[in-house]
């Protein structure tokens, strides 16, 4: 489906938290802010409540399979997961399996990962092979999906080579991400993304390598899972240790056609704290929570914590980011969390985080949450990290590669099983969203409604 424009509302619409706005913080930066951070796109969104059954009903999940997962562009793997001819990756979504293959002609193709003989999955996992051979009886296709051979050819006079090419799905690439779409009539990825690539021109994600990739099964619906990562409203309740150095309620929320954005500043005290916090306290709150055992740092007398952290991060990135001298303090410490409908969440600037959320297997009450760290590098590209799998009961802190951010994910995850329990047993009918701070979630549900034809 094409993306009709959503109604636009002038910047500054509606009540915001008292105190500094994010734009005020940009005014005080040591460098001029890029145009993309000056954009403000508050939206008039119709959805303020959605029925609880969206998170609990298996029938609603089935509807999503038909109207969302079989219809939308979705991030399947990284381009450099399949760099050479014969390299393949699998992507599982709601009980369906797809195979992304780099052909002998170096082109990327995606096929339904199902043998046309009696249905076995052609590949069980990623790898490299010269052909696509089914392990059951040995039917074999070439990397372009043409049927090459099958044992006892004489027994299949009715199997014409042309009719038994592997069914393909659409493939597109942006930012080093390979997207697939199962709908043969879908709009091109380019138009679906809209302006999103323009937002990332200063932070090219194709020039990164996968430093970490952790996948965890979560005890909740995939939407409840991702919604916990689409607002800073929960910081005061869930991560109170961060308040001295995070502008949670000063966050800016924007929505465009198929994507939205939140910006949360670091090194500014939360408006929830009546007495604010000193520059050093702001820094300490972040360092104790987010850096890995680094020695304590002192904010120099004549500097703000914000300018200081900008300077420190600038120095850390010097070896890997050629343009680091132009980056604002904002880009070197704030959180820019983008969401492309339905489930892809690349972070802007150099935060490195990318999230993906999807239903686990075919269950309405299980999700698969993945965290990728995409890091810049200079010179020879480092090897991509292997995926670490965490079961439903395994904590994020088991994945060493996440560093101390794992503690933050643990706090986030603490609520989610109990959210699903609460929704399952609820005697009221709807969940309710904030007008401004839950803009991104409302935007998501507005698009969901549109896809469902509601
Ligand atoms: S099921 Fe694949 S060759 Fe028989
Ligand atoms: Fe959180």
Ligand with minimal distance to 120 CA: 1
Q: Which of 99, 114, 115 to mutate to test the pocket of ligand 1 (most atoms within 8 A of CB)?
A: 115
* Residue bearing the CA closest to ligand 1, atom 4: 137
Residues 29-43, mean pLDDT to the nearest whole number: 94
- For the chain, what is the mean pLDDT? 94
Here the tokens at position 150 are 């099958």
Beta strand pairing call for 168-174 and 177-181: antiparallel
What does the alpha-carbon distance between residue 254 and residue 262 come to, in Å, rounded to a whole number?
A: 6
Ligand with minimal distance to 123 CA: 1
* 161-213 tens-digit pLDDT: 999 999 999 999 999 999 999 999 999 999 999 999 999 999 999 999 999 99
Residues 6 or more apart whose Cβ sits within 8 Å of residue 14: 42, 435, 436
Find out whether the beta carbon of 122 lies less than 6 Å from any atom of ligand 1: no
| Cα-to-centroid distance, 412 and ligand 2 (Å) | 5
Q: How confident is the model at residue 295 (pLDDT cuts 50, 70, 90)?
A: low
* 396-417 tens-digit pLDDT: 999 999 998 999 999 999 999 9
* 106-151 tens-digit pLDDT: 999 999 999 999 999 999 999 999 999 999 999 999 999 999 999 9
| Cα-to-centroid distance, 179 and ligand 1 (Å) | 27
Residues 346-357, mean pLDDT to the nearest whole number: 97
Q: How confident is the model at residue 290 (pLDDT cuts 50, 70, 90)?
A: low
Look-up: residue for tokens 């985080």?
353
The reported pLDDT for the residue numbered 288 is 74
Residues 294-312, mean pLDDT to the nearest whole number: 91
Ligand with minimal distance to 413 CA: 2
Here the tokens at position 18 are 């008292």
Residues 6 or more apart whose Cβ sits within 8 Å of residue 281: 244, 245, 269
The reported pLDDT for the residue numbered 357 is 98
Select from 80, 177, 82, 78 the least CA-distant residue to 128: 82
Q: Which of 112, 118, 150, 151 to mutate to test the pocket of ligand 1 (most atoms within 8 A of CB)?
A: 118
The reported pLDDT for the residue numbered 172 is 98
The reported pLDDT for the residue numbered 183 is 98
Beta strand pairing call for 208-218 and 388-390: parallel
| Cα-to-centroid distance, 166 and ligand 1 (Å) | 13
Atom of ligand 1 nearest to the CA of 150: 3
- The yes-or-no verdict on residue 250 having pLDDT over 90 is yes
Q: Which domains does the chain have, with CATH numbers?
A: 22-60+202-452 (3.90.380), 74-185 (2.102.10.10)
237 within 8 A of 297, measured Cβ to Cβ: no
The reported pLDDT for the residue numbered 286 is 85
The reported pLDDT for the residue numbered 44 is 83
Look-up: residue for tokens 């399949």?
82
Ligand with minimal distance to 405 CA: 2
What 8-state DSSP symbol labels residue 173? E
Q: Roughly how many angstroms between the first and final C-alpha of the chain, as a whole number?
A: 14
C-alpha distances (whole Å) from 254 to each of 22, 42, 64, 232 are: 12, 5, 25, 13
Share of the chain above pLDDT 90, in %: 91
What does the alpha-carbon distance between residue 430 and residue 176 come to, in Å, rounded to a whole number?
A: 38
Q: How many CB atoms lie within 10 A of CB 110?
A: 27
The reported pLDDT for the residue numbered 43 is 81
pTM: 0.94
Select from 205, 196, 229 the least CA-distant residue to 39: 196
Find out whether the beta carbon of 139 lies less than 6 Å from any atom of ligand 1: yes
Strands, DSSP E only, in 310-432?
A: 335-340, 344-346, 353-359, 367-376, 388-390, 430-432
What does the alpha-carbon distance between residue 211 and residue 382 come to, in Å, rounded to a whole number?
A: 8
Strands, DSSP E only, in 94-131?
A: 96-102, 108-112, 127-128
The reported pLDDT for the residue numbered 293 is 53
272 within 8 A of 243, measured Cβ to Cβ: yes
The reported pLDDT for the residue numbered 168 is 98
Please give the residue that has the higher pLDDT: either 335 or 9.
335
- The yes-or-no verdict on residue 1 having pLDDT over 80 is no
- The yes-or-no verdict on residue 452 having pLDDT over 60 is yes
Q: Which of 99, 137, 153, 159 to mutate to test the pocket of ligand 1 (most atoms within 8 A of CB)?
A: 137
Find out whether the beta carbon of 118 lies less than 6 Å from any atom of ligand 1: yes
Find out whether the beta carbon of 137 lies less than 6 Å from any atom of ligand 1: yes
Q: How confident is the model at residue 21 (pLDDT cuts 50, 70, 90)?
A: very high
- The yes-or-no verdict on residue 12 having pLDDT over 60 is no
Ligand with minimal distance to 117 CA: 1
Find out whether the beta carbon of 134 lies less than 6 Å from any atom of ligand 1: yes
Output phi, psi for 355, to 5 deg.
-110, 150
Q: Cis link prior to 119 (omega < 30° from 0)?
A: no
The reported pLDDT for the residue numbered 326 is 94
What does the alpha-carbon distance between residue 183 and residue 449 come to, in Å, rounded to a whole number?
A: 18
Find out whether the beta carbon of 115 lies less than 6 Å from any atom of ligand 1: yes
* Residue bearing the CA closest to ligand 1, atom 1: 118
* 364-387 tens-digit pLDDT: 999 999 999 999 999 999 999 999
What does the alpha-carbon distance between residue 27 and residue 47 come to, in Å, rounded to a whole number?
A: 33
| Cα-to-centroid distance, 89 and ligand 1 (Å) | 20
- The yes-or-no verdict on residue 11 having pLDDT over 70 is no
Which ranges of 260-382 would DSSP assign to H, the alpha helix? 279-290, 305-317
């Amino acid at each position: 489906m094409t993306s009709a424009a959503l109604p636009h509302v002038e910047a500054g619409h509606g009540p915001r938290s008292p105190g500094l706005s994010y734009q005020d913080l940009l005014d005080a930066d040591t460098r001029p802010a890029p145009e993309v951070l000056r954009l403000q796109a508050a939206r008039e969104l119709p959805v303020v409540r959605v029925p609880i059954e969206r998170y609990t009903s298996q029938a609603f999940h089935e509807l999503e399979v038909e109207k969302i997962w079989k219809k939308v562009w979705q991030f399947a793997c990284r381009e450099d997961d399949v760099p050479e001819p014969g390299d393949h990756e699998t992507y599982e979504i709601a009980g369906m399996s797809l195979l992304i293959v780099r052909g002998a002609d170096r082109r990327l193709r995606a096929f339904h990962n199902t043998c046309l003989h009696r249905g076995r999955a052609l590949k069980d996992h990623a790898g490299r092979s010269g052909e696509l051979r089914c392990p059951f009886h040995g039917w074999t296709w070439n990397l372009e999906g043409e049927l090459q051979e099958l044992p006892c050819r004489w027994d299949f006079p009715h199997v014409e080579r042309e009719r038994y090419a592997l069914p393909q799905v659409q493939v597109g690439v942006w930012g080093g991400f390979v997207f697939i779409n199962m709908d043969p009539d879908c709009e091109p990825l380019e138009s679906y993304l809209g302006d999103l690539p323009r937002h990332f021109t200063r932070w090219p994600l194709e020039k990164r390598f996968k430093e970490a990739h952790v996948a965890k099964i979560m005890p909740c619906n995939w939407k409840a899972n991702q919604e916990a990562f689409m607002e800073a409203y929960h910081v005061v309740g869930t991560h109170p240790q961060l308040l001295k150095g995070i502008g949670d309620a000063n966050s800016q929320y924007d929505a465009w056609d198929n994507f939205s954005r939140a910006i949360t500043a670091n090194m500014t005290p939360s408006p929830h704290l009546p007495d604010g916090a000193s520059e050093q306290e702001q820094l300490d709150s972040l360092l104790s929570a987010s850096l890995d055992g680094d020695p304590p740092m002192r904010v120099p007398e004549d500097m703000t914590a914000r300018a200081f952290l900008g300077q420190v991060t600038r120095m850390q990135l010097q070896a890997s980011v050629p343009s680091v001298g132009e980056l604002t303090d904002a880009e070197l410490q704030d959180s820019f969390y983008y969401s492309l409908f339905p489930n892809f969440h690349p972070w802007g600037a150099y935060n490195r985080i990318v999230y993906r959320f999807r239903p686990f297997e075919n269950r309405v009450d299980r999700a698969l949450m993945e965290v990728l760290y995409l890091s810049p590098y200079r010179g020879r590209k480092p090897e991509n990290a292997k995926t670490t799998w965490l079961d439903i009961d395994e904590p994020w802190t088991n994945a060493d590669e996440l560093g101390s951010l794992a503690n933050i994910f643990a706090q986030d995850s603490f609520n989610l099983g109990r959210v699903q329990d609460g929704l399952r047993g609820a005697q009221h009918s709807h969940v309710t969203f904030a007008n401004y701070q839950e803009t991104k979630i409302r935007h998501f549900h507005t698009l969901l409604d549109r896809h469902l034809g509601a």
